Chain A
Amino acid sequence: MNMLVGLGAWFLNWLEAVGRAGIFLAQSVLRMPVRFRESIRLLIQQLYAVGVLSLVIVVVSGAFIGMVLALQGYSILSKFGSEEAVGQLLALSLLRELAPVVTALLFAGRAGSSLTAEIGLMKATEQLSSYEMMGVDPLRRIIAPRFIAGVICLPLLSIIFSATGIIGGLLVSVGWLGVHDGAFWSLMQQSVYFDTDIMNGFIKAVCFSVVVTWIAVYQGYECVPTSEGIGKATTRTVVLGSLAILALDFVLTAAMFGDF
């Protein structure tokens, strides 16, 4: 009986948290900033912190993943005598799956955790409440620019990831392994379609960006304002964010590529 009560209470708590997170998202996005120039300045600062500073890790991991894919693909495809298809393999797997998912995972670790820690520390040092005392809405001033910056940056980073991955794979397969580059490009262009492959990958990245940034700013805003609480909230951002990305990826893939 006690267990049943506990389960019910846990479920109600969980439902309440989901509701709070939803209201939080709606409030921070819908309360559009009043002063346009000021909010643009805040947004650009966040674009720098979230996007530009994540660029290096995205470019480096994109290049290496492309190179590894080309090597692995070549070693298998050469058994069937069709090593030219390595370009096709590279482009399809990067555009459809790897670029959005891996970029979102990296983004959760690199930018999401720092967003949570930053907002959590603001809460712990009572900066958020002092904003409120001054009559400035912290949702509008702190949360909204960070959320919007995250939603803008992740799709851009995902596209950059695909492009560097393909260039990395090109270097390995054409430059090193000696795949004919005309066949490499022509097979790739034959099998990659702009609307099904590139746009679907882009839509995935947009969905992931909303989910990851939402989790990050919400965890920071709702954390227990102690040093331990900030640490836990940061961990939750990375863990919950990664799980949400992978689960959502399955749903999106099934919806996009599931009909045979």
Chain B
Amino acid sequence: MRSKRTELLVGCFILLGVAAFVYLAVQVSGLAFSAQKDTYQIVARFDDIGGLTSRSKVTIAGVTVGTVESISFDKELYMGLVKMNINADVDNIPTDSSIAILTSGLLGEKYLGITIGADEEMLQEGGEIFDTQSALVLENLISQFLFKSGDSE
């Protein structure tokens, strides 16, 4: 009888551990067990990616429509090459859209914002957004401000 009760309690303990693990995975890390969403990949080249990281959000009108897949250095053009996955249901981004690196809040994380263009043709798998706007680097802003105020005097 004693042994049965021990086994029952040990079973409860292990079950509790597994439940806590699932709780951490789903609720805390937001891990989704559903199959990977259908996406298509587009690329953009930036002069300065300034703090953008892989898995950053890609937004249109502030709504997340994709994530940054990878960031690498384009050796020929000396630019930062950003590959991003866009949800397949957002298939109507015109080819002349522009993309900018934005910051959420004053010190928050970097994300990408797409501004929609007017072209009839839409971006396909492997397409590229050519109109890019780099991250605002604080030092550059300050030096611009200093040079400007120096000129006017």
Contact = CB atoms under 8 A, between A and B. Distances in A.
Interface stretch (B22-30, B78-86, B119-127, B132-140): B22-30
Interface in B24-45: 24-25, 27-31
Interface in B65-113: 105, 109
Given A48-B10, A52-B9, A159 B24 contact: yes
Instruction: State the main secondary structure of chain A at its contact with B.
Output: helix
Contacts of A47: 10, 13-14
Interface in A148-194: 153, 155-157, 159-160, 162-164, 166, 185, 188-190, 192-194
Contact of B17 (A44, A160, A198): A160
Which of A91, A188, A194 gathers the greatest number of chain B CB atoms within 10 Å? A194
A41 B4 CA distance: 10
A156 B20 CA distance: 8
Interface residues of B, number: 22
B10 A159 contact: no
B25 A194 contact: yes
Contact of B29 (A45, A159, A193): A193
Interface in B1-19: 3, 6-7, 9-10, 12-14, 16-17
Interface of B: 3, 6-7, 9-10, 12-14, 16-17, 20-21, 23-25, 27-31, 105, 109
Given A55-B16, A162-B20, 13 more contacts: A45-B6, A48-B6, A156-B16, A156-B20, A159-B24, A163-B23, A163-B24, A189-B27, A189-B30, A190-B30, A192-B28, A194-B29, A198-B28
